[in-house]
Amino acid sequence: MNELFGTLSDGTAVHRWTLERAGVRVRVLTYGGIVQSVEVPDRDGVAADVVLGFAEPADYPAHPGPYFGALVGRYANRIARGRFTLDGLTYALPVNSGPNCLHGGERGFDQRVWDAEPVAHGVRLSRVSAHGEEGFPGRLELAATYSLDADGALRIVYEAVTDAPTVVNLTNHSYFNLAGAGNAGGHELRIAASRFTPVDADLIPTGEEEPVEGTRFDFRAPRKVGSGYDHNFVLDKGVTDTPVEVAELHDPASGRVLTVSTTEPGLQLYTADHLADPFAPGDGIALETQHFPDSPNRPEFPSTVLRPGEVFRSETVYAFSLR
């Protein structure tokens, strides 16, 4: 179902698409490609919204920093000092998070209104990111398709092509709270990652990959999430052509389970320790499937370069079950 959700301050219309299948209801906005809500039942059959979001369109541009439910790009996560060099040319990007460029700059994909068209059990969002938008090179034509599988799993497929060499890293920035309310730090988390990328004081990777064994980053067996995380995990599976299960989040109280599968090589765990009114620190947990932070400046990391004639494709599946 497609409906008018409201308008932005400049009068631009924002539409909301509702997807429903197998007892799961997902609402997606054309503003920012935002996943506004995901309603799933608990073990008693009582449905609750398990992602953080807002009821009014104006609330999203009023709270841009946390990127609630947004489609993030052109480059998700951080690029050190807002600069990178590609084919001998250096590009300057907006510095919007300390000394770094974060999630695409001052006005990334999360603050753009996307075109939308229906697809089977879902919606396809598309837009053109012009050459030079937020400092990134290349005219990027991209699409993100949100659909529900037969079992109610939310599948997001990103695709893009460019007319000039560029870098691309896309993700969804939903904050999950499987209880539907309260602090999510008591959720149990498992991540199929034996290594993580340590960071400096500005949250930029040092370039190393360290083992999680014996550290607070070891989620190879399920345990409570807690707080204090904004780190990239090096997924054991690496880059894959089809989604592979990499993480599981479980709320023991409600019985809800979220399983994350992806083609991406990394997963950013963010425990939202800095959320503010109307939410509180730790009210949600972001599990951002992605390439690694600052990859354009780190040739040792999996490449995020996209060239003319190539097709960028990334796929992530969020599946829901009960335990």
pLDDT at 309: 98
Confidence of residue 251 (pLDDT cuts 50, 70, 90): very high
Residue 110: which of 155, 149, 160, 76 has the closest Cα?
76
pLDDT in tens, 3-14: 999 999 999 999
The answer to whether 292 touches 150, Cβ cutoff 8 Å, is no
pLDDT at 247: 99
60 is in an annotated binding site: no
Residue 314: which of 239, 233, 214 has the closest Cα?
239
Confidence of residue 275 (pLDDT cuts 50, 70, 90): very high
Distance CA 73, CA 267 (A): 15
277 is in an annotated binding site: no
pLDDT at 257: 98
pLDDT at 279: 97
pLDDT (average), residues 174-195? 98
Confidence of residue 316 (pLDDT cuts 50, 70, 90): very high
CA angle 17, 19, 21 (to 5 degrees): 170
3-state secondary structure of 62: helix
195, two tokens: 């290594």
Question: Which residue in the block uniquely carries the two structure tokens 């000092």?
Answer: 81
Confidence of residue 89 (pLDDT cuts 50, 70, 90): very high
Distance CA 175, CA 205 (A): 23
Instruction: State the CATH number of the domain containing residue 173.
Output: 2.70.98.10
* Catalytic hit among 173, 187, 250, 291: 173
Confidence of residue 40 (pLDDT cuts 50, 70, 90): very high
CA angle 287, 288, 293 (to 5 degrees): 130
Domain count, the chain: 1
Those residues whose C-beta lies under 8 Å from the C-beta of residue 171, and which sit 6 or more positions away, are 71, 72, 73, 76, 77, 264, 268, 288, 289, 290, 316
169 is in an annotated binding site: no
pLDDT at 272: 97
- For the chain, the average pLDDT equals 98
pLDDT at 107: 97
Residue 167: which of 78, 234, 34 has the closest Cα?
78
The answer to whether 92 touches 82, Cβ cutoff 8 Å, is yes
Confidence of residue 109 (pLDDT cuts 50, 70, 90): very high
pLDDT at 142: 98
65: containing domain:
2-322
Does the active-site annotation cover 248?
A: no
Radius of gyration of the chain (CA): 18
Does the active-site annotation cover 291?
A: no
HEC letters along 64-128: CCCCCCCEECCECCEEHHHEEEECCEEEECCCCECCEEECCCCCCHHHCECEEEEECCEEEEEEE
174 is in an annotated binding site: yes
Confidence of residue 25 (pLDDT cuts 50, 70, 90): very high
pLDDT (average), residues 81-89? 98
Task: Tell me how far CA of residue 188 lies from CA of 38, 184, 222, 233, in angstroms.
Answer: 19, 9, 6, 17
pLDDT more than 70, % of the chain = 100
318 is in an annotated binding site: no
* Catalytic hit among 133, 188, 264, 288: 288
173 is in an annotated binding site: yes
pLDDT at 212: 98
Q: What is the pTM of this model?
A: 0.98
